Amino acid sequence: MVEHYKADLAQVMPSHVKPDTFIRLAVGVLRRDRNLAQAAQNNPAALMGALMDAAQLGLTPGTEQFYLVPRKKAGRLEVQGIRGYQGEIELIYRAGAVSSVIVEVVRQADTFRYSPGRDERPEHEIDWDAEDRGPLRLVYAYAVMKDGATSKVVVLNRAQVMKAKAMSQGSDSAYSPWQKHEEAMWMKTAAHRLTKWVPTSAEYMREQLRAAAEVAAEHRPTPVAAAPGMPSVPGEDEAIEAEFVDEDEVA
């Protein structure tokens, strides 16, 4: 089924994505998950819609970049595509404006300190010897820009994450990544909020290059035309027509 739409998917993929690899991964995830395969059979259009979204974003389907999950709609399963936290981070990196992206969850036993306006970045201490760090409490995300500056720091508590979960379609389904990969979805929520404050598209890099070209053009010297009646000055490589005159003849 998926192979039939290879050409259509390839047309919308960014140049770094290999269509054959994309198709192979999509087919593989359908074969591994019987419920997902049934959902694809029930509504092929929903499957292709999800794959088209992944292809346009240049994200890998069936991974933590872009989940493919079955969900019930009108009493039967169909495929739903959900961007994962790794996908959000990939889009940030791809824009070329950041050198690193930090997204972490804070659990009950962790120590976390961050005061906006006072602290540039959060301080997060983890007791790695603890057998149980406790339930999820907070999640945070920020980026370090190419010039070393720190982006806005996004910090969300449990109530804020649960509000985002409630707004997500099918989040209460047994198939939802909110049920199977809760920590990853907390991180996705914070990373998604971070995208409001940092570039997430290759358009940003193209705009930077365009602006740099304009600045260079402004500083490029403009040739000055010779004033009327004034001889033009030849360039270094231009030949000068002249006649050698014997000094004795002039005298």
> pLDDT (tens digit, 9 = 90+) per residue, 162-195?
999 999 988 988 899 999 999 999 999 999 999 9
Where do the H-state alpha helices sit in the chain? 6-12, 19-32, 34-42, 44-57, 85-94, 158-167, 177-180, 182-194, 202-219, 247-250
Q: Which two tokens stand for residue 65?
A: 């970049």
Tens of pLDDT, residues 200-233: 875 555 555 666 666 666 666 655 555 555 555 5
User: Which residues are 125's β-sheet partners?
Assistant: 111
Mapped onto helix, strand or coil, the DSSP state of residue 162 is helix
pTM: 0.76
Residues in the chain: 251
- Run of H or E including 156: strand 154-157
* CA pair distance 45, 82, nearest whole angstrom: 16
Neighbours of 44 (CB within 10 A): 16
CA-based R_g, the chain, Å = 29
pLDDT of residue 131: 92
